Structure 1
Amino acid sequence: MHDFRSKNHPFYEKTLETKPIFEGRMISLQVDTVKLPNGGTATREIVRHPGAVAVLALLDGKMLVVEQFRKALERVQVEIPAGKLDPGEAPEQAALRELEEETGYRARNIRHVQTFSTSPGFAEELIHLYFADDLEQGEEHLDEEEFLTCEAITPEQADEYIREGRIFDAKTLLAVHLWREFRQADERR
């Protein structure tokens, strides 16, 4: 069995050249020329992203979600609180910051659940998912360009939002799935 992270893996693609294309405030785009396992070459378009956090936060047995417009999809959708990492910021601190900024709640208890990639075919973005409960009222601090509403939803509402397509993004779908697992584990105790 090969180590999936090793440069010695038979599928590893060695980068021969990197050409920067775009440098934005949130992402950058580059085109890499790579050597393929069969000796040929190919190009790979890669989006660089600083990473993000998302928070599955429970308040009185309900999950906190925010509703906001997502320009890339041209739609409003319901998501768990989330945001990008600031330079040098630890993921747990970012999760606490984003939770309070978007919902107005502070978590006295937070723990890392999972880190996952969003679009591994072209982007390096990783999302660090946290679970938070034992919440206390804090103060909402939306960014100047951020417009959203916050609500606490039941498991049944989450299922309904998924059926309706209001919950549509992977991080929130994963959070709802994990929430179900947490509830089932609690019921077995």
Structure 2
Amino acid sequence: MKSHREETKSREIIFNGSLIDVEVQEVYLPDGNTSRRELVYHPGAVAVIAFTEEGKLILVKQYRKALQKAIAEIPAGKLENKESPEKCARRELEEETGLRAASMTKLLSFYTSPGFADEIVHLFLADSLTAGDSGTDDDEFVERVDVTFEEAKKMIESGEIHDAKTAYAVQYWELLQTRSK
């Protein structure tokens, strides 16, 4: 079996920020040649699938500067100060929606853009929701939007839902509906 490993020859730190770090590496390729890699390091994040008592998916709508538009997403956020993914999921759900979950079930984890970034998202399913305290970050402006399955599908088609984690949540919802039939 061929080795697909790349060894680092040199690295240059380009940026250290509050959300990401960026570095450029020169690497040795498996065939002995060299190449350049631009890498983004991220502390990791969580995303939460949550439903209202009426069976609607809970989304938050917010403006995303990188996209130059507002999109609807499942509640999500980055891990802070080495907190556990479950603790982060509980915090983000409450901050963004004002709801607490009696239980949080981890569904899976996935990498968002493995070609250049190490960001991993831990996806949770929240259950038995009760009122809590909302309190977004000072630079975060969100609007809660509860949608039916049909509305969610139309939002994907229109581009109002335009991110992988939320599209995955809708696909998971469809799977849950199929299993219950």
1:116 is aligned to 2:110: yes
For 1:133 and 1:155, how far apart are their aligned partners in 2?
18
Matches within 5 A, 1:49-88: 49-60=42-53, 61-88=55-82
- 2:22 match: secondary structure: strand
- 2:174 match: secondary structure: helix
Q: Which residue of 2 aligns with 1:99?
A: 93
Q: TM-score, normalised by structure 2?
A: 0.96
- 2:92 match: secondary structure: helix
1:140 is aligned to 2:140: no
CA apart distance, 1:186: 2.1
Q: Deviations over 1:32-55 (max 9, x none)?
A: 111101110111000011010000
What one-letter code is carried by the residue in structure 1 that aligns with 2:106? Answer: H
CA apart distance, 1:69: 0.1
Percent of residue pairs identical? 46
Residues paired across the two proteins, number? 180
Query: Is the Cα–Cα contact under 8 Å of residues 59 and 133 in structure 1 kept in the other structure?
Result: no
Q: Which residue of 1 aligns with 2:9?
A: 16
For 1:154 and 1:129, how far apart are their aligned partners in 2?
20
For 1:151 and 1:54, how far apart are their aligned partners in 2?
16
Matches within 5 A, 1:19-34: 19-34=12-27
- 2:128 match: secondary structure: strand
Q: Which residue of 1 aligns with 2:150?
A: 156
- 2:115 match: secondary structure: coil
For 2:113 and 2:79, how far apart are their aligned partners in 1?
17
- 1:146 match: secondary structure: coil
For 2:85 and 2:139, how far apart are their aligned partners in 1?
22
For 2:23 and 2:120, how far apart are their aligned partners in 1?
17
Tell me, which stretches of 5 or more residues in structure 1 are unaligned?
Answer: 3-8
1:45 is aligned to 2:38: yes
- 1:20 match: secondary structure: strand
Tell me, which stretches of 5 or more residues in structure 2 are unaligned?
Answer: none
